[in-house]
Amino acid sequence: MEEMRNFVALIENRICAKAALVQNRIVMDHIAEHWRLMVRAMMTEAEWASSKHIPATMEEYMSAASHSLVGAIFQSAAYLLGSRLPEEVVGGEEYGQLWRHTRSSSAASSTTGRSASRRVLLPSAAASPASVEAAKVEIGRAIRALRGELQRLVFGDGAGVVPRSCREMFWQTSNVASAFYRDGDGYSPKEMLSVANAVILDPL
């Protein structure tokens, strides 16, 4: 409980306070909502794991997967970029589209490494190599479509109401998720671990 109080205080006193200074308005409700969604999604996935529940559909799986740490961090960082994000912009259609495509493409990328999502697509424990490959193709097609539309929204002709720096952050967030989950579960990719060790441990 003490850890939770410290965590809430960190969000309120550090992140929200600094964001309020940059934006010249209170943004705590919006930031807190995304952290709440993240915690609820993590609890849902923990319940699935403990009960060995397999989501019946990809839609059920994505209902939890799409509300990840990415969303909480992104929505907090967006207010700290320096560009003003009025409430009408954050609540507007353009920002909503950008966020939906970023969230969905990031969640779809995570399915390439999560065993729960593979079991949704491949309910049989004895799935054939052909079935596994077909599932990967299906996921890859969805990711490419989502990222293609996101790229159009970010870099397409016509200036929208969302600042360019913020729009580019949507795209970079999707890129990070794609790289993070490209070859594994996102938590233990060997190539990424090797790079991290080289940066931290190897002498210059």
In the chain, the domains with their CATH numbers are 2-185 (1.10.600.10)
The Cβ-side half-sphere exposure at 3, using a 13 Å CA radius, reads 0
Count the residues in the chain: 204
Confidence of residue 92 (pLDDT cuts 50, 70, 90): very high
- For position 79, what pLDDT does the model report? 93
pLDDT digits over 34-53, tens only? Answer: 888 888 888 888 898 888 88
Q: What is the pLDDT of residue 203?
A: 55
In this prediction, residue 187 has a pLDDT band, given cuts at 50, 70 and 90, of: very low
pLDDT of residue 202: 60
Output the six-digit token pair for 167. 């729009």
Q: Is the pLDDT of residue 198 over 80?
A: no
**Does 178 score more than 70 pLDDT?**
yes
Q: CA–CA separation, 204 vs 197, rounded Å?
A: 13
Helical segments of the chain, H only = 2-10, 17-23, 28-51, 58-65, 69-78, 87-90, 93-110, 115-121, 129-155, 164-180, 190-201
Assessment of whether the complete model's pTM goes beyond 0.75 = no
For residues 146-171, average pLDDT: 88
3-state class (DSSP) for residue 15: helix
For 49-81, what is each residue's pLDDT tens digit? 888 887 777 777 777 777 777 788 888 899 999
- Per-residue pLDDT of 96-154, as tens digits, reads 999 988 888 877 766 655 554 555 555 544 455 666 667 667 777 888 888 899 999 99
Distances from the Cα of 49 to the Cα of 20, 62, 131, angstroms: 38, 15, 24
pLDDT for position 157: 73
Closest CA to 87 of 28, 38, 34: 28
